[in-house]
Amino acid sequence: MFNRTFFHIGRYFTMLGRVFSKPEKWGVYRKEFFHEIDSLGITSLPIIAIISLFMGAVITIQAAFGFTSPWVPLYAVGFTTRDSVILEFSPTIISLILAGKVGSNIASEIGTMRISEQIDALEIMGVNSRAFLILPKIAACVLINPFLILISMFLGIAGGWLLGTLAGVVTTYQFVYGIQYEFNSFNITYALIKTVVFAFIIASVSAYHGYYTEGGALEVGRSSTKAVVYCSILILVFNFLLTQLLLS
């Protein structure tokens, strides 16, 4: 059990060593990179938008529901929504959702390339297959995820405001006042640092599971499940560590 764990950790870092080596040709890598930005980032926008809007709304309504005491001002609904969305919901929950969507996508794509000998074909051509397949994905995720998370924050808060006012639990004035109340911009920095770390985990860990797939189509499915499970666990662990490190 421990042996297996150390084996995987060792192989993961060896893989990363090869991933971060000089590209054979920047032009080809650049093309792949833009392709990944589109396929891993832009296509995730709709699901992120829907989830953020509704989660923001639910957080707002729950907050309003909880603050029935006359001692708590109604603008507290605004800043509770703001802080929940910025500190935890957008960076962590959305990253977990991306681990499901992007992680399984990466693992199954690379896994399929492995079992259909496409990776061998790359190696035979003299291409560093780890770098060529994985580097553009890591770069794309690390670069695009912060934007996705910023959009999610905006939409989450907007959803809270929209549905909160529609449901009549808070007024626009109170909500906006709450959002601005004692705003600490470091929270956004903290959230984005988390996001970047999570993005790296999502891309590299799922690529690892895809790259070392052995067997057939069945194993590709397994790799992609494993990728999602390990990414999610690692995200939660690093969420804890980073929060300790940055906020305490």
Partner 1 sequence: MIELKHINKSFNGRHVTQDFSCVFDRGKTNLIIGESGSGKTVLLKCIVGLTQVDSGEVLYDGQDFLRLNPRDKQNLRKQIGMLFQGGALFDSKTVEENITFPLAMFTDMSHEEQKDRAQFCLERVNLAQAGDLYPSELSGGMKKRVAIARAIAPNPRYLFCDEPNSGLDPKTSILIDKLIKDITEEFQMTTIVITHDMNSVMEIGEKVVFICKNQKWWEGSNQTILDTDNKELEDFIYVSKFLKELKNKKMKA
Distance, CA of 232 to CA of 210 (rounded, Å): 16
The region of 58-66, 76-84, 112-120, 220-228 touching partner 1 under the rule CB under 8 A is 112-120
Residue 28 in the binding site for partner 1 (CB under 8 A): yes
- Nearer to partner 1 by Cβ, of 39 and 171: the residue is 39
The region of 3-11, 59-67, 108-116, 181-189 touching partner 1 under the rule CB under 8 A is 108-116
Residue 121 in the binding site for partner 1 (CB under 8 A): yes
Sequence-separated (6 or more) residues with CB below 8 Å from residue 222: none
Nearest approach, Cβ of residue 158 and partner 1 (Å): 36
Q: How many CB atoms lie within 10 A of CB 108?
A: 21
Distance, CA of 103 to CA of 232 (rounded, Å): 10
Residue 16 in the binding site for partner 1 (CB under 8 A): no
Residue 116 in the binding site for partner 1 (CB under 8 A): yes
Contact between 61 and 159 under an 8 Å Cβ cutoff? The reply is no
Nearest approach, Cβ of residue 4 and partner 1 (Å): 19
Distance, CA of 97 to CA of 146 (rounded, Å): 14
Ramachandran quadrant class, 47 (left: phi over 0; alpha: psi -120 to 50; beta: rest): alpha
Residue 43 in the binding site for partner 1 (CB under 8 A): no
Q: Residue 21 corresponds to which amino acid?
A: S
Question: Which one, of 16, 218, 224, lies nearest residue 107 by Cα?
Answer: 224
Q: Residue 144 corresponds to which amino acid?
A: I
User: Long-range contacts for 241-245 (Cβ within 8 Å, ≥24 apart)?
Assistant: 242/190, 242/193, 242/194, 242/197, 243/194
Residue 118 in the binding site for partner 1 (CB under 8 A): yes
Residue 38 in the binding site for partner 1 (CB under 8 A): no
Contact between 193 and 182 under an 8 Å Cβ cutoff? The reply is no
Q: Residue 28 corresponds to which amino acid?
A: V
Residue 22 in the binding site for partner 1 (CB under 8 A): no
The region of 21-29, 77-85, 173-181, 190-198 touching partner 1 under the rule CB under 8 A is 21-29
Ramachandran quadrant class, 198 (left: phi over 0; alpha: psi -120 to 50; beta: rest): alpha
- Nearer to partner 1 by Cβ, of 74 and 122: the residue is 122
Residue 112 in the binding site for partner 1 (CB under 8 A): yes
The region of 2-10, 97-105, 110-118, 236-244 touching partner 1 under the rule CB under 8 A is 110-118
Nearest approach, Cβ of residue 99 and partner 1 (Å): 22
Distance, CA of 204 to CA of 231 (rounded, Å): 9
- Nearer to partner 1 by Cβ, of 59 and 135: the residue is 135
Of 3, 126, 168, 244, the one binding partner 1 (CB under 8 A) is 126
Residues lying near partner 1 in the complex (CB under 8 A): 24-25, 27-28, 112-113, 116-118, 120-121, 123-128
